[in-house]
Amino acid sequence: MSLLKASSLSRLGTASLAGYALLFVTFLLAPIVIVVLTSFTPHNIVAVSFDGISLRWYERIWNYRPFMDSLVTSLVLALSATSLAILLAVPAALGLVRSTSRFADAVTSFLLSPIAVPPLVIGLSSLYFLASIGVGTSFLALLITHTVTSVPYILRTVAAACKGLSPSYGEAASVLGANGWQAFSCVTLPLILPGIFAGALFSFLVSLDNLGLSFFFGSAQASTLPVVMLSYLENQFDPAIAAISCVQMIIAMALLLIIEKAYGLRALITQ
């Protein structure tokens, strides 16, 4: 009797866990599904339509030049900031992981601090500082601030990859006659490449969708997509916003698929 009761409780627990997982996934996916369905509505209101499908709002994206111009700016900015962050974060991670100085932890915490500080605080303080040195609202200002906030993501993943890297690999390369650059490019770099890819992925996606920083430095010549979307919503509210949001999701999914084909997301997740 006790075994039957234990079996019933086990089945009940499994069913409850499955139901909770289903509700959780539904809670996460429902807003995305609603946005996607709304982007195909033939009506002028932001609502899911069940009486037809239309691509008029995607055509609106193409015809509304601020959307396309800001999308290109956002992509170039995210790629540039990620590239600069890699150049800064990879040497920093290698040096900090190998350092025996007592200040290494303090420097690491300082470099990771942009993750903990709200983007609005970073944006406002950066606006005053950059304006004081003659860099106003421009693409350069956007690039500087986005790079600052991108460095922590790459630093964390690369540092994690470096901690599992045995010093014997570099020593073996030196014994075989490799100089410092050859040891790094042929031995160290391939081993930490998953960490670089993982950090670059996070950095690119965060930069692409960053409103808090871009809001302070956007201009008529250089304005990112999130800022243009906010400005668009202030003047009109139609399903074009749902359509451009779907375009953002498609870009993120395409990036994930490219990395999956080129390297494999499973390898990135294990970092």
Which tens digits make up the pLDDT trace of 180-195? 676 777 777 777 888 8
Return the higher-pLDDT residue of 27 and 2: 27
How much of the chain exceeds pLDDT 90, in percent? Answer: 7
Q: 23 in a domain, yes or no? A: no
Instruction: Return the H-helix or E-strand segment holding 260.
Output: helix 240-262
Q: How confident is the model at residue 169 (pLDDT cuts 50, 70, 90)?
A: low
Number of domains in the chain: 1
Section 105-125 average pLDDT: 83
Q: Among positive and negative, which fits the CA dihedral 175, 177, 179, 182?
A: negative
- 35 is a domain residue: no
Give the pLDDT of residue 76. 92
Domain with 197, as residue range(s), is 65-269
| pLDDT, tens only, 221-230 | 778 888 888 8
Q: Which of 158-162, 163-167, 211-215 has the lowest mean pLDDT?
A: 163-167
Output 49 or 73, whichever has higher pLDDT: 73
- Is residue 254 situated within a structural domain? yes
| Max mean pLDDT range (3-7, 19-23, 97-101, 132-136) | 19-23
CB 158 within 8 A of CB 89: yes
The pLDDT of residue 58 is 85
Residue 75 domain-assigned (yes or no): yes
pLDDT digits (tens, 9 = 90+) for 235-268: 887 888 888 888 888 888 888 787 777 666 555 5
pLDDT tier, 79 (very low <50, low <70, confident <90, very high otherwise): very high
Taken in order 252, 258, 263, 267, the sign of the CA dihedral is positive
In a domain? residue 100: yes
Dihedral angle computed from the Cα positions of residues 225, 203, 113 and 166, in that order, rounded to the nearest 10 degrees = 180
The per-residue pLDDT for 135 is: 77
For residue 39, being part of any structural domain is answered with no
Residue 56, in any domain of the structure: no
**Between 91 and 180, the higher pLDDT residue:** 91
pLDDT exceeds 70 at position 103: yes
Q: 81 falls in which pLDDT band (50, 70, 90)?
A: very high
Considering the domain boundaries, does residue 95 fall inside one? Answer: yes
What pLDDT is stored for residue 87 in this prediction? 92
Find the CATH number of the domain harbouring 108.
1.10.3720.10
pLDDT at position 173: 67
Name the amino acid, one letter, at 242.
A
107-122 mean pLDDT: 84
Can you give the C-alpha Rg of the chain in angstroms?
A: 24
C-beta separation of 56 from 42 below 8 A: yes
